[in-house]
Chain A
Amino acid sequence: MSKANAAVITPACPAAGRAAPAAARHAWVGPTLVLLALVNLLSCIVVFVRTPLTALPLYFVERYFVLDATSLLFLLVINAVFLGISVYMSSRVGTSPVLARNMLPRAALSLAFMVAMNLGVMSNNLLLLWAFIELTTLCAAPLVAQGDALAPRRVAWHYLLYSSMSLALTFLGFMCLTRSAQLQGLEVSFAVDQLAATLSTSGDSWQRLGLALMLFGLGSKLGLAPLYGWMPETYEAAPTSTSALLAAVQFNISVVAVFRLLQVFRLRDTSFVSHELLIMGCLSLIVAAVQVMAARNYKRLIAYACVSSSGVIAIGLSVGKAAAYGVVLYIVSNAFVKALLFLTAGRLRAVYGTNAVSALSGVIRVLPFSGLMFAVGTFALLGFPPFGSFIAEMLILSGIVQSGNLIAFTLMCAMLTIIFVATGRSIFPMLWGPSERQGPAIHESWVTALPKLGFVSVLVLLGVYTPAPISELLVLVARSIGGQ
């Protein structure tokens, strides 16, 4: 499509003219961001290829950091997703005056966020990991404040507040563990590889309370009910690249923290933890099902779908054993699904100028590529074949059946069906309904399309054929959290 035609159809295009001077001033920022993201991802890939998995874990910087299967897997995932997000940001500078004006601080904050993410994922000390989670939030809050909600700084403040509160609860958990160790006459160490040895095997009430508080605090960072309220509000109000960063990248550092806890407490009696995760997971699924039915805004709809994904993960973790591999696969798939959906939502927002579902109709005819990607992302999110999330959901459901928890199985199936119907009712007319817009279809540049195509390829690969080294890595991570 010609530029002249695009100017008639898209409301974003008058902005393109205004974006040009600002974009020209900081023209180097976008490519530099992409280059740094690419270098980081390539470094992770080189480490993955050259390090035999049997040689793991490797400790460095006085054992404060560790490279094990968990950290390696999540380093690969977060850096791959970040590369896609940075390509998207770089490609949008030319058409968005707001982004062009703020590209330098946004890129700097995104990089600071990624440094904290990478260090956090590799952290071998729970206190350091806690600090890095909070640092990622502190880097992301100014990014959220750049959104175009009614009061973006208020939303960013709520996000920061929720995070501080939930991490304070997590810290209270650390405190309880310390007290437990003191009462048993042991010296507590928060190094992940030593913590298990410094805790009593019997597990007193302080230890149980500590673990419960830590999981509750981290659960709220994952968007699990009851402390999930920050998630839809923040994801809707933030710029879409930031929403993708939060949903597809930051989410994973909290997952790593939960995995670390499960790795530490694996050999202890953790039945109460399973119950806590199961309750939080089921509650999240119910909340998400109700809210998805009520949602009339596609960004909010994706956000509630993220709440439901967190619920599935929590239920899977509560089952452990047979479901563990499915949980790990589900988490990895979800990172790419969320990134795909949010970046595509950003494109829809740029063209239609609204997040309201009712204002969009026949997207597939106006924006064929974005419409297709949104449809693919929605199907992957809902757990359809041939995507990785399909196999993952099947494995989780099979794990639940094997554990004999038929109530959880029934509830999960029922809630996922409701979410599917409600999502379809909102999204399908938006994509395939009659279009009110005149003129030819709008096509995307290959640079904008590239990250989305990359995400779809990964999703299909995870569902159809997972290369042996990746599969081996997934199995190792699943085993570390108690998988069979």
Chain B
Amino acid sequence: MRLPLIAFLLAAVIPVFFGKIRSAPFWLCLQAIAIGWNGVAHSEGLSIHALVALLDVIVVRALIAPLLLRRAIHLRGDANLDLMPSNLFTWVIGIALIVLAFDFGGAAMADVQALALGVVGAMVAIALLLLSTNNSPPAQLVAVLFMENAIAVFESLLPEPWPLPVHGALTAVYLLTVGVGGWLVGTPAAADKASAAPSQGETP
């Protein structure tokens, strides 16, 4: 149960420190695989719920979302920017936030739930750091998706998995976030300005 969580954390931390925006869909896919692995390790036996959850992870998080994100990144044209600006200041803050998140979660290695808490806390802190250091919309979308993946990991903290309706609603939120976000982010700034209807009195 520890390995998938560590794999998930690595798939989130490595691109933030070393990755370009264009590589984000790949890391998102890896995170989804880690979530799926964690889910399988967490479930007791094969149930309908476990199958549906696995299908959600494979189809939505590992396949559709990275593809939609890749499309948005290419349309926008910021693909070669760093996901997080690579300078000593942001690196120190990033590392400090991860350490703090684990410290906050208690002795992280003491039990799996504390580790999961540390991972989720670190992910959210890193996503917030990304949002505060990079004003490129695709990087911001990546940060939002990282946060939503952290929310998916949160399920492993619970004694019982989420009921299917909750699972369905959260999957819909994730899919729509990448869909709507990708559509909004995928428009280059110049085209966005041109799309505004300047004609008077036409927008009620």
Contact = CB atoms under 8 A, between A and B. Distances in A.
A135 B176 contact: yes
Interface string B130-160: 0100000100100010011011001001111
A116 to B, nearest CB: 10
Contact of A15 (B137, B192, B202): B202
A151 B158 contact: no
A141 B192 contact: no
Contacts of A132: 169
A165 B176 contact: no
B196 A149 contact: yes
Contacts of A174: 154
B198 A148 contact: yes
Contact of A151 (B120, B193, B201): B193
Contacts of B181: 157, 160
B202 A179 contact: no
Contact of A152 (B113, B180, B192): B192
A460 B160 CA distance: 50
A98 to B, nearest CB: 4
Contact of A148 (B120, B137, B170, B203): B203
B128 interface: yes
A474 to B, nearest CB: 30
A111 to B, nearest CB: 15
Nearest to A132: B169
Contact of B157 (A134, A152, A178): A178
Given A135-B176, A157-B185, A152 B201 contact: no
Nearest to B131: A165
B195 A131 contact: no
Given A11-B201, A135-B176, A152-B196, A168 B184 contact: no
B154 A175 contact: yes
Interface string A126-152: 011001101100100110011111111
A156 B195 CA distance: 13
Given A128-B169, A135-B169, A239-B203, A150 B196 contact: yes
A79 interface: no
Given A148-B198, A154-B192, A164-B147, A142 B180 contact: yes
A92 interface: yes
Nearest to B147: A168
Given A64-B165, A151-B192, A168-B151, A161 B202 contact: no
B166 interface: yes
A210 to B, nearest CB: 12
A193 to B, nearest CB: 15
Contacts of A346: 204
A98 B173 contact: no
A55 B172 CA distance: 34
B177 interface: yes
Interface stretch (A347-355, A379-387, A423-431, A449-457): A347-355
A153 B201 contact: no
B65 interface: no
A475 interface: no
Given A128-B166, A161-B140, A349-B203, A151 B196 contact: yes
B169 A240 contact: no
B11 interface: no
A192 to B, nearest CB: 13
A131 B184 contact: no
A10 B201 contact: yes
Contacts of B148: 164, 168
B199 interface: yes
Contacts of B16: none
A175 B166 CA distance: 15
Nearest to B189: A151
Interface string B167-191: 0011011001100110111010100
A127 B170 contact: yes
A241 interface: yes
Interface string A87-128: 011001000111100000000000000000000000001011
17 contacts: A88-B204, A125-B166, A135-B169, A138-B176, A147-B196, A148-B199, A151-B193, A151-B196, A154-B184, A164-B177, A165-B147, A168-B124, A188-B159, A349-B201, A351-B201, A353-B200, A354-B200
Interface of A: 10-12, 15, 64, 88-89, 92, 96-99, 125, 127-128, 131-132, 134-135, 138, 141-142, 145-154, 156-157, 160-161, 164-165, 168, 171-172, 174-175, 178-179, 182, 187-188, 190, 239-241, 346, 349-354
Complex A-B, nearest 6 residue pairs according to Cβ-Cβ distance, in ascending order: A353-B200, A12-B201, A131-B169, A350-B201, A92-B204, A157-B184
Given A88-B204, A161-B144, 14 more contacts: A89-B204, A96-B204, A99-B204, A135-B172, A142-B183, A151-B189, A160-B184, A161-B131, A161-B140, A171-B151, A175-B121, A179-B117, A349-B204, A353-B200
